[in-house]
A and B are shown apart, each in its own frame.
Chain A
Amino acid sequence: MNTIPTDAVTSGPVRSGPDHPAVSGPATEPGTEPGTAAGKAAETAAGSAAGTEQAGYLDEKLAQVRAMDFLQYRSPDLPTWCPGCGYFGIMDAFYKACRELNLAHENICAVSGIGCSGRTPIFINSYGFHTLHGRSIPVATGLKLAREDLTVFAMAGDGDALGIGGGHLPHAARKNIDITFILFDNSIYGLTKGQSSSTTPYEMKTNSHPVGNPDTPLNPVKLALAYGASFVARGYAGDPEGMKQLIKAGTLHRGFSFIQILTPCVTFDKTNRTWKALKEKVCSLNLHAPAPDNMENAMRAAENEPYGTGIFYQDKDRPSYQDILRRMQNV
């Protein structure tokens, strides 16, 4: 996994522009796997459809992307997400953040749960652990406590982290475990094809609630603040630059960093969190500079600005769990 085969980066177009967030990924059909016959066929079809007239465009774009010098953080394995998925944008930001922090590949470990976000570590050129549904936080916690030298990321979807695994978030946050937690929040269960999740809006029609979701959605940022996370931020999948800054800040933060990413599910949510809707609603938070450790401000913003992006709260002085242990045990 050290060397990136050429086809890993040539197999998908890189699009960007006013109507498209910068995403990089393959043009495979939903549900097809790279390496399988169907996946291969899809890749080939995408390649030939592009035609020779696009070859010049692709070569040009590829040269630009390569010049940005972050692709080495991508693994040769092709993402299994649907075309247009917001997760490509998240990964783009993630790779760039790793590059700008100059993290050594072998010292990165990405821990994920189950769901569309669960596959994320496969696509990172680093150590990775795809665990159980809802359990990325406990595993990442054990790994970080075992190996403080590693940079540990935990990744989870909204169903993963707030539904089945909802019991773990409070404790990693209040303990201030020094990991960076990225919530891929598309407000739907995507991998099981469109059921309501813990962040699905009230009354939205889904495959599990055809006449409307009867449940009130959770507010992830408010939860993270209430649980005592020492770094709480929100990004938007269509804003790779903003996400990159948040991921960098979260990684550098010594303690539990919570980053919610608002992202569409282009396949199973055609009404609520679409690219179009997000693009209209998402705005920058600009509330509490220069005092990001103002909890009252943060809570108010969490309540009033459901689409505000940026850092809601950061307490830089709070010791991480391992710092606390060292202090208490005098070691």
Chain B
Amino acid sequence: MKTSDKEINIVFEICGSAGEGTISAGEILSRFMSAQGFEIMSFDAYPAEIRGFGKCVAHTRVSSNPIYSPGKLADVLIALNDNHAISQLSALKKGGILLYDSQPAKPHEEDQSVVARADAATISYGVPLTMLAQKAAGNARGRNMVALGAVTALFHLDRDAFTNSIKDRYGKKKQIVIDSNVNSFLEGFDWTKENIDKADGISFQGVTPPQTKAEQKGEKLIINGNQLVAKAALDADLKFYAGYPITPATKIMEILSKELPKHGGTLLQTEDEISAIGAVIGAGYGGIRAMTGTSGPGFALMTEFTGLSVMAEVPAVIIDSQRGGPSTGIPTKTEQSDFNAAMFGGTGDCPRVVLAPTDTTSCYDATVLALYLAEKYQTLVVILLDFFLSNSIRNIDVPQKPAPKMLNANIAPDAADLDGYQRYKITDSGISPRTIPGTPGGMFFATGLEHDAYGRPNYTDKGHLAMTAKRFRKHASVLAEAPAPVISGMDAGGADSGMGSGMGSSVGSSKGIPDKDGTPKTLDIGVISWGSSAGAAHEAVMTAAGEGVSAAAFSSMMLSPFPEKQLAAFAGRCRKILIPELNYGGQFADFVTKIIKRPVERLNFITGRPMAAEDIVEKIREMI
């Protein structure tokens, strides 16, 4: 990748109260930066309540290099609300920049203003946000735009291009709305140009973003994980989606409710999650691709049906976008605490497939793969997203559409099979050729009872063993064609070679965490991670390598079946192993420990924030 002489890597945070336009301002900033050609990763934190003046934070990392994690601390904090911003000061870097309203509607007590609470090293700029918004539009609603104008002036961004980004954002609204926002922005820009003496070193002047090459224009998607899952599902021939509203998965249903009918599919909003997975299994039995999405509480309700999918061998795909748990938990905070529920939830010996995308782009691959595996292996596939992956916004290359073989995966019986058709025929691969209703001569009876090869209830010990073993044999078959785990880090020679793809060739190649075989044969530290923590782990080992630590990161999108051999081989190269994850005790660490049979270091957070590379680096330093 070509990088300019001058590089940019800045984290912006806009902090305000619900209803102050915090999230909109963050979105406009992200879209502008992407349009300018920078890499972005954005993430919003907001309360579970729709109203009630809760704290909102729009977090955006902007870089001229690839981004793998959102960045723990902000370089720039834009305070739209002093009260909330005070509590956000702890996330501002020492010596960072604070932009605040110097003339708020109600003057603050001395110690209640964010500027008074800021660290002495903070570079603070006071801009009369409320006054300028009043001046521009006659009301204070445009304070967020005034702040963006100030940011544009302060950091030498392209004023006219930014104006266009605002117009694009409000393009469908009334002219007066567009004008108010643009005018507020320009007021902020002009005032700042005239009145602020710049005391920081951040400037976008002379930075050539990596993506401004003409041929790359228009090729970027600004998208979050939920949107990408929906897009992938449509590309992978999804024909039925059933769902029940639940944060953070609802958006997938909303997108598909618009798009599925255009693709000849059906969307069903059900009365509960039990009905949603039931309908998905009904549709899967009918021979079409079907999926549902939920979060922890809904996944818990679906558990009984997950067993039926496995037992009756009916394809089903469930997306579980994890949030704080257990129970209703923390609906708008991210966590990786449904690992055990997805891997082991339910009763009986129940082999299922579990996939966890490691970054935004791999949400696409995981969805395509899940629909393929569910159909081919006639089983349950769970995709573990989390609040962060669902909602964080990246600008990515347009994913390659799935290959034809990914779209037509059912193994149907041939004419000979239909003579005395055994729907649940015992096979080496574990796959029994499957008919769909409407096929003459292929009629069968599916049941959640243990059954014989014809599907008839059968409770003999031999029969149960043979059928259970058959269902488990699918695991080996899945693993044989599943994407390999990704091992990333610095080459033994010290170079970070080019981008690779962590996915198997069958799923298309999206840009994700670079996969490399060149990492040293023996490592001081191996970081093993899963899901959305994998990006931070990759970034951390790169930072550690820069400090002379021999470290590499291992992650696998396939959680069940797990590539145990590769894991054991990787662990064998590591003097110490670190497992960072967003749950209390280390659910994945427990799982890994059982495979590699040695103790590991754990790094666990349940702060509701995504995994930070900085925290992993700090832990690596401790371990050395």
Contacts and interface: CB of A to CB of B under 8 A. Distances in A.
Interface of A: 1-2, 33, 35, 75, 77, 104-107, 109, 111, 121-122, 125-132, 135, 137-147, 149-150, 167-168, 170-171, 322, 325, 329, 331
A106 B449 contact: no
Contacts of B288: 146-147
Contact of A139 (B261, B282, B287, B445): B282
Nearest to B439: A106
B558 interface: no
B282 A143 contact: yes
Contacts of A121: 445
The binding surface of chain A is classed by DSSP as mixed
B5 interface: no
B279 A132 contact: no
B442 A106 contact: yes
B515 to A, nearest CB: 38
Nearest to B281: A139
Given A106-B442, A122-B457, A132-B304, A142 B437 contact: no
Interface centre among A126, A132, A168 (most CB of B within 10 A): A132
Contacts, number: 148
B154 interface: no
A121 B308 CA distance: 16
Nearest to A330: B261
B563 interface: no
A111 B456 CA distance: 15
Contact of A131 (B239, B290, B448): B448
Contacts of A107: 437-438
B270 A138 contact: yes
Contact of A141 (B268, B305, B441, B445): B268
B418 to A, nearest CB: 9
A2 B421 CA distance: 10
Given A122-B456, A139-B278, A146 B270 contact: no
7 contacts: A105-B440, A125-B443, A131-B448, A143-B286, A146-B239, A150-B286, A329-B261
A183 to B, nearest CB: 18
Interface centre among B275, B282, B442 (most CB of A within 10 A): B282
Given A131-B312, A138-B270, 5 more contacts: A138-B279, A141-B282, A146-B283, A167-B274, A331-B264
Given A129-B445, A131-B308, A142-B283, A109 B437 contact: yes
B236 to A, nearest CB: 16
B240 interface: yes
Nearest to B312: A129
Nearest to A136: B278
Contacts of A106: 437-443
Q: Which 3 A-B pairs have the closest CB atoms?
A: A142-B282, A138-B278, A142-B279
Contacts of A2: 441, 443
A168 B287 contact: no
Contacts of A322: 266
A221 B278 CA distance: 25
A135 B274 contact: yes
Nearest to B460: A36
A33 B270 CA distance: 37
Interface string B412-441: 000000000100000000000000011111
A134 to B, nearest CB: 8
A1 B444 contact: yes
Interface centre among A75, A77, A130 (most CB of B within 10 A): A130
B286 A142 contact: yes
Contacts of A132: 278, 304-305, 308, 448
Interface string B243-283: 00000000000000000010010101011101111111111
A147 B286 contact: yes
A146 B438 contact: no
Nearest to B437: A127
A135 B278 contact: yes
B305 A135 contact: yes
A139 B282 CA distance: 4
A73 to B, nearest CB: 11
Contact of A146 (B240, B312, B447): B240
B275 A138 contact: yes
Given A135-B278, A138-B278, A146 B266 contact: yes
Contacts of B312: 129, 131
Contacts of B290: 142, 146
B68 interface: no
Contacts of B261: 325, 329, 331
A126 B268 CA distance: 26
Interface in B279-337: 279-288, 290, 304-305, 308, 312
B242 interface: yes
A129 to B, nearest CB: 5
Contacts of A150: 286, 437-438
Nearest to B261: A329
Contacts of B454: 1
A107 B445 CA distance: 13
B446 A130 contact: yes
B457 A167 contact: no
Contacts of B274: 135, 138, 167
Contacts of A329: 261
A209 B223 CA distance: 58
Nearest to A169: B271
A130 B447 CA distance: 5
Contacts of B268: 141-142, 145
Interface in B490-511: none
A167 B437 CA distance: 27
B388 to A, nearest CB: 31
A331 B265 CA distance: 11
Given A127-B444, A131-B278, A142-B290, A147 B437 contact: yes
A2 B441 CA distance: 6
A144 B290 CA distance: 13
Contacts of B440: 104-106
Contacts of A139: 278-279, 281-282, 285
A129 B285 contact: yes
Given A132-B305, A147-B437, A149-B438, A1 B443 contact: yes
Interface centre among A145, A322, A325 (most CB of B within 10 A): A145
Nearest to B316: A142
A331 B274 CA distance: 29
B456 A35 contact: yes
B280 A142 contact: yes
Given A109-B437, A130-B449, A145 B444 contact: no
Contact of B272 (A1, A125, A167): A167
Interface in B172-208: none
B280 A147 contact: no
B270 to A, nearest CB: 7
